[in-house]
Amino acid sequence: MRKKQIKKELLHMSIFIHFVFFFYFIKLMPVFTYPAISRLLGFISFSLMGSTRERIKKNLKIAYGNTFNYLERRRINIDIFSNVIMSFCELIRVTKIEEDKILAMASIEGEEKLQSALKEGNGVIGVCSHMGNFPLLETILVKKGYPANVIVKDPTAEYLAKFCRNLSKQHKIPYISKKDIKATIKEAQQWLSSNKGLLSFYIDQHAGNGLSVMFFDRKVFAPTGAAVFARKYNCPAIGIFSYRIKNGSHKIIIEGPYPLKKTNNVTEDIKDNTTQFMQRVEHYVKLYPDQWFSWLHRRFR
C-alpha cells in the first residue's frame, strides 16, 4: 500500500513539474507563437497518446456513425488536442495582460438575457459544456462584473490543484470545488442565496449518480445539478456556450431562459429539464465537434 502511495505521489509531482514548466515557458512566449505551438504539441499528443486518441475515435464513431471519413476523423482528433493546448496558452496569457485585453478576447451574443435573468432576483442557473475555452468564458463574465460562480472538479494531482487554486484566488476568479458532494451542495446553496448571481453547471460529462437521458441517440448518464437547483430555488436557467472563431478570438453565446417543467412529479421534471439541457449541448457539439473536450472522456458507456 505504501509503495502505491509513493508511486502516486511521484506521478502527481511529475505532472505538477511539467505543468509549471509549460506555464512559465508559454508565459515568456509572444502571443503570435501560440497557434504554432498548439498545433505542434497537438500533433505530438495525437501521435503519442494512443489510448486517448482511440477513445476520441470511438466516441466520434458512436456519435456520428459513418458521417466522417478517415481523414475527417483524423483531422478532428488532432484539432481536439490542439484546441486543448491552445486553451491552456490563452489562459496563461490572461495572467499577464490587462483587464481590457482579457475582455477583448471574446464577444458575447445574448448578454441582455443574462442581465434580464439576474434582475428577477432569485439567482440564475448557467447550463454549460466543456467547449471552446470554457474557463476563459467564466473569467470574462467575472471580469465584466457579473456575480458569477461555477462548480468544477479540482485536478487529481494535489500539487497542481493547489497551484490552480492560488491562480484563481490571485486573479479573483471564484469557483466551488466538487471534491466533496455534500460540502459542494452546501457551499453552492449558500453562495446562490447570498449573491443571487449566476451559478454555472457543466453537465456534459458522465455522472454515475445522474439520470439516464438521450444524447446523440444514445442513453447516457447526465448530472442533474442544474435542473435540481433551478427547480428548488425557482431560478431561470440559461445556456452559456463558447467556441473559438477563425481569427483566434472567442464567441460566447447566451441563450434562454429555457422553459422549465415544474409539476408534482419532481423526478420527471428534473429528467425532462436535464434532457432539454443536453439537447442544447448536443446542438453546439454538432456545430463545433473539434472544440468539445469531452470527446477525451468515456462519454458513452
Q: Give tens-digit pLDDT for 199-250.
A: 999 999 999 889 999 999 999 999 999 999 999 999 999 999 999 998 889 9
- 191 in a domain, yes or no? yes
The predicted pLDDT at position 1 comes to: 56
Q: Is 286 helix (H, G, I), strand (E, B) or coil?
A: helix
The predicted pLDDT at position 159 comes to: 78
pLDDT tier, 139 (very low <50, low <70, confident <90, very high otherwise)? very high
| Residues contacting 35, CB < 8 A, separation 6+ | 86, 248
How far apart CA 274 and CA 212 sit, in angstroms, is: 9
Cβ–Cβ < 8 Å for 242, 213: no
DSSP code string of 160-180: HHHHHHHHHHHTT---EE-SS
Per-residue pLDDT, averaged over 45-54, amounts to 93
Cβ–Cβ < 8 Å for 279, 239: no
Strands 124-128 and 211-215: unpaired
Flag whether pLDDT at 15 surpasses 90. Answer: no
The mean pLDDT of the chain is 93
- Which position has the higher pLDDT, 277 or 161? 277
The predicted pLDDT at position 293 comes to: 94
- 301 in a domain, yes or no? no
- 134 in a domain, yes or no? yes
Please write the tens of the pLDDT for every residue from 265-295.
999 999 999 999 999 999 999 999 999 999 9
Percent of the chain topping pLDDT 70: 100
Flag whether pLDDT at 14 surpasses 90. Answer: no
How far apart CA 279 and CA 127 sit, in angstroms, is: 11
- 219 in a domain, yes or no? yes
How many domains does the chain divide into? 1
- 223 in a domain, yes or no? yes
How far apart CA 147 and CA 94 sit, in angstroms, is: 20
**Can you give the residue range of the structural domain that contains 127?**
2-296
How far apart CA 278 and CA 221 sit, in angstroms, is: 11
- 189 in a domain, yes or no? yes
- 292 in a domain, yes or no? yes
